[in-house]
Structure 1
Amino acid sequence: MHRSDVLIIGAGPTGLVLALWLSRLGIRVRIIDKTSTPGTTSRALAVQARTLELYRQLDLADAVVKNGHRVAAANFWVKGEPVARLPLNRVGEGLTPYAFLEIYPQDEHERLLIDRLETFGITVERNTELLGFDETGDSITATLRLPDGQQETCQACYLAGCDGARSIVRKALDTGFPGGTYQQIFYVADVQASGPAFNGELHVDLDEADFLAVFPLAGEGRARLIGTVRDERAEHAETLRFEDVSSRAIGHMQVKIEQLNWFSTYRVHHRVANHFRTGRAFLLGDAAHVHSPAGGQGMNTGIGDAINLAWKLAAVLSGGAEARLLATYEAERIAFARKLVATTDRVFTFVTAEGRMADLLRTRLAPFLLPKMASFETSREFLFRTVSQITLNYRGMPLSTGVAGHVHGGDRLPWAHDGEGDNFESLKCPTWQVHVYGDTSDEMIAWCNEHHLPLHVFDWRPAFETAGLGRNGFYLLRPDTYVAIAETCSDPKVIERYFSHHGIRPFFGKS
């Protein structure tokens, strides 16, 4: 019987990233997908700064930035005229090495992940479908339908459902998926076109007519259009063609379509599963949560799920932690998913609301407020922090403790950069490690040496104070670069007690 450590169902970005991280940490994975080929359309587009930071651990960030498109600004249109421009080039400057909005279409993104996964000797098994599974003692027994129609029974220590909004895994677990569906019909079209909205920037129409956003892709004149379909046309969504939806907002924004590469219509859902884990089976990505495309959060959140779960599964499977560590996956990720759905719901409702008052808010109030907001550094920074996911934290969660400087246990470690370098270089290695900014004790140095726990001591510099880091204490960092302990003293017994309390024996992945 075929046996793996983790059986992954679904080879979208979430499943691929989970397979990559686990393989990087020496875990045997098997990844299947019922489709015959990878996606060929640019569904999700934005790769947020936090995702790029984490991608450094697999040497993926540079490839995404090199092959993607950096968006210089967002423009807002009313009545056929651009009324506000929000610069994005350096919107997150000083906060992250990736202080910009990166567009990298999902189909290209998946190909990159598949190529990297193959360097670990792992190939996605296509035309292979999960029929069902049972948990038996210390493993899961799953039944698969193979490409030739034959059935196979296989075993795995754990199963990960990364199989999308219609997840077979979620249905098998009988986990509720509460939420709803927005009434609007959306369309998405990849086009080659020209006009003022095809200058490599993001353009959004706020008019009374159909909502439309133009997302630039790499290459001159390439873009993705996302828009709504209103009035009687929405009643025939299944049979709509591009010609049926392309007249109103597209005309307002002076878009001249030269070639249509792809077109589809869909409805947007907002749902979060009641549980992200049942026994040895986990839900990640769209199988666990779906929400509006507002802010480009969906794919990035799924990738965040994968990285959060990967290091925990690797620790447990390698003997580096007790199985109870896995309970923290749901606690940490479900809270974020619920908050995200609520936030994107508010934005989505404002952008797509119908009626005279909604139109007035969008066409009169928004054009007045947007330039005002864009002129304030604090408002630009707040917007970037929120959308980029660098403020996502696990404060108050079981694995998070302490405060040092402005940094709490559970926070993403702040990025500090000056002429002498930055403090993120050591984070490329997905291991537990300790950071000290200033001085530390001989006891801390000796204890970390004895326990083979990497210790990085940085001479105190103004850049660290600016970033909010505390002086002469320490930060214990998890393998996913979030702060486990923020402490003002330099006593290694604090770390020892933490590991003992949580049943963790630090796991070190292959270098």
Structure 2
Amino acid sequence: MAERDVLIVGAGPTGLVLALWLTAQGVRVRIIDRNAGPGPTSRAMVVHARTLELYRQLDLAAAVVEAGRCNPAVNLWARGHVRAHIAFAPTGAKLTPYPFVLVFPQDHHERLLASRLEAMGIVVERQTELVDFDVGADQVTARLRLPDGSEELCTTRYLAGCDGARSTVRHRLAIDFEGGTYDQTFYVADVEASGPTANGEAHISLDTSDFVALLAYAKGRGRLIGLVREAREDARQLTFEDVSHRAIDGLRLTIDRVNWFSTYRVHHRVADRFRQGNVFLLGDAAHVHSPVGGQGMNTGIGDAINLAWKLAAVLRGQAPDRLLDSYEEERIAFARQLVATTDRLFTFVTAGGRLVDLVRIYIAPALAGVAYRFARIREFLFRILSQTQLNYRDGRLSRGVAGSVQGGDRLPWVMAGEWDNYQPLSAITWQVHVYGVADDGMRQWCAARGLPLHVFPWLEEHAAAGLVKGAAYLLRPDTYVALAAEKQAHELFGAYLADRQIVPS
């Protein structure tokens, strides 16, 4: 018998979230990490709205928001002037409880997640390294190197590789990691700063000489992420004084102190597959891309929550093993799309030449400022940035249409008076939502299966969000719509679950 249900390799945000969500569902986990603790020079800074929505399932969202800093807007700078000011709240407040970009350094983020996990009885085993593993028919045997140098064998039903871009798990499985590495070198610096741009908002300079973004996470403190344009053989030996400060000066920013500085190269790669037998790849082990839009960490967290409920269902005997195939199906498509999109944006931001400089410095910010005046464009851009547009419409778990909501969509958020349709989503469980009046057949069908039924009185705000009066929506444990039906035909819901051999809980 396996000692654990799931062995998680890597205690970054992806691994920690996977451990939290599995533990909350009664799954026996073990989580290891080769490092002594979170690295202080982490580059992931941004927590987007969709991640915060999902964090409500474990009562994490409020703590993360309180610990981080809400950035209500982003400013595009060039040649010492603001070319565009893009505020999130006017549009985002209608779409999500979190209409902002939250800046929360990854090392702080990891410590918060680890402390929550420890409160649940699971401690990250630091300085413990995965050396090798063998995959059997129904379990994985992993060889671990412990802090004292001794080795241990650990048997587990499933192995989750959350061990970063240089993943031991991926290399051991010989899974291709296609893509490439950009020529440019980036730097990241933790700074104490003053000046008009040290105002709590995000600032991005698109100057010709270099690129830099300022993300404030406390009063007078923030992270600079910048580009070293010229190719340097000695990139690892660079200091903050070695990089161009033209873009920093263009932000009218005074650097009072540099607390730490690091350089890194940017990759764009997606693993050929995310599952091989009882082994899974998540986060940077499965996909890496440029830092444009701050999507990387949020995507890894999304991987973890997508996989966690499926593993729990299979381990409890409430779904067949083939349910786990939907993890790769749903997440690899998004990863490929994300890498392609951020690659195009990264290439535009870092390209040289007079024409490109003209477009980047004058034309693009001006167009962004004008376009952002239109509600539909604002909504589209916010949905992309916040990952609230992410859907699984073409997946095997997605069926039906009711209004503008399709199976596979994120449930639209509606807050009207005392009614918040996201409040029931704090439970990691299948559930049914009805907007209007639930008929007796639907009530009886849900009650017979112990399936939570949440009925919301019909409001104009529901129609504005694309929901349909009297329609019923079956929601997955990760809060995405599984089945949307304009009529409360409970036999459709029964057929959906029976076809997939899922017993909801």
- TM-score interval, normalised by the smaller of the two chains: over 0.9
TM-superposed CA distance for 1:236, in Å, is: 2.2
Q: Map Cα deviations across residues 158-197 of structure 1 (whole Å, 9 max, x no partner).
A: 0000000000000011100000111111000010011222
The whole-number CA distance in structure 2 between the counterparts of 1:463 and 1:420 is: 13
The whole-number CA distance in structure 2 between the counterparts of 1:90 and 1:39 is: 36
> How do 1:286-435 residues align onto structure 2 when only pairs under 5 Å count?
286-435=284-433
Matched, 1:448 2:446: yes
| Aligned residue type for 1:461 | L
SS at match of 1:295: helix
Q: Percent identity?
A: 60
TM-superposed CA distance for 1:374, in Å, is: 2.5
Q: Which structure 1 residue ranges, 4+ long, deviate > 4 Å from structure 2?
A: none
What is aligned with 2:194?
A: 194
What is aligned with 1:178?
A: 178
Q: Is the CA contact (8 Å cut-off) linking 2:71 and 2:101 kept in structure 1?
A: yes
| Aligned residue type for 2:179 | G
Q: Is the CA contact (8 Å cut-off) linking 1:90 and 1:100 kept in structure 2?
A: no
SS at match of 1:286: helix
The whole-number CA distance in structure 2 between the counterparts of 1:71 and 1:42 is: 19
The whole-number CA distance in structure 1 between the counterparts of 2:370 and 2:252 is: 26
Q: Which deviates further from its counterpart, 49-58 or 496-505? A: 496-505
| Aligned residue type for 1:230 | R
| Structure 2 spans left out of the alignment, 5+ residues | none
What is aligned with 1:228?
A: 227
What is aligned with 2:14?
A: 14
SS at match of 2:233: helix
The whole-number CA distance in structure 1 between the counterparts of 2:230 and 2:430 is: 55
What is aligned with 1:254?
A: 252
> How do 1:418-497 residues align onto structure 2 when only pairs under 5 Å count?
418-497=416-495
> How do 1:209-288 residues align onto structure 2 when only pairs under 5 Å count?
209-218=209-218, 220-231=219-230, 234-288=232-286
Q: Is the CA contact (8 Å cut-off) linking 2:104 and 2:217 kept in structure 1?
A: yes
TM-superposed CA distance for 1:459, in Å, is: 1.6
TM-score normalised by structure 1 residue count: 0.97
SS at match of 2:443: helix
The whole-number CA distance in structure 1 between the counterparts of 2:205 and 2:443 is: 58
SS at match of 1:40: coil
TM-superposed CA distance for 1:440, in Å, is: 2.6
TM-superposed CA distance for 1:255, in Å, is: 2.2
What is aligned with 1:27?
A: 27
Q: Map Cα deviations across residues 201-237 of structure 1 (whole Å, 9 max, x no partner).
A: 111111111111111112x2101111111225x3321
Q: Is the CA contact (8 Å cut-off) linking 1:186 and 1:226 kept in structure 2?
A: yes
The whole-number CA distance in structure 2 between the counterparts of 1:5 and 1:156 is: 5
The whole-number CA distance in structure 2 between the counterparts of 1:116 and 1:83 is: 42
Q: Map Cα deviations across residues 258-283 of structure 1 (whole Å, 9 max, x no partner).
A: 11111111110000000000000000
TM-superposed CA distance for 1:2, in Å, is: 7.4
The count of aligned residue pairs is: 505
What is aligned with 1:154?
A: 154
| Aligned residue type for 1:377 | A
What is aligned with 1:166?
A: 166
| Aligned residue type for 1:67 | A
| Structure 1 spans left out of the alignment, 5+ residues | none
Q: Map Cα deviations across residues 310-353 of structure 1 (whole Å, 9 max, x no partner).
A: 00000000111111110100000000000011111111111111
TM-superposed CA distance for 1:484, in Å, is: 0.5
SS at match of 1:299: helix
Q: Map Cα deviations across residues 444-493 of structure 1 (whole Å, 9 max, x no partner).
A: 11111111011111121111101101121210000000000001121211
What is aligned with 1:53?
A: 53
The whole-number CA distance in structure 2 between the counterparts of 1:384 and 1:157 is: 40
TM-superposed CA distance for 1:238, in Å, is: 1.8
What is aligned with 1:102?
A: 102
| Aligned residue type for 1:199 | N
| Aligned residue type for 1:322 | P
Q: Map Cα deviations across residues 367-426 of structure 1 (whole Å, 9 max, x no partner).
A: 321221222222221111001011100001100000001100000010111113211110
TM-score normalised by structure 2 residue count: 0.98
SS at match of 1:401: coil
The whole-number CA distance in structure 2 between the counterparts of 1:443 and 1:11 is: 46
SS at match of 1:254: coil
What is aligned with 1:499?
A: 497
CA RMSD between the two structures: 1.2
| Aligned residue type for 1:170 | R
| Aligned residue type for 1:456 | H
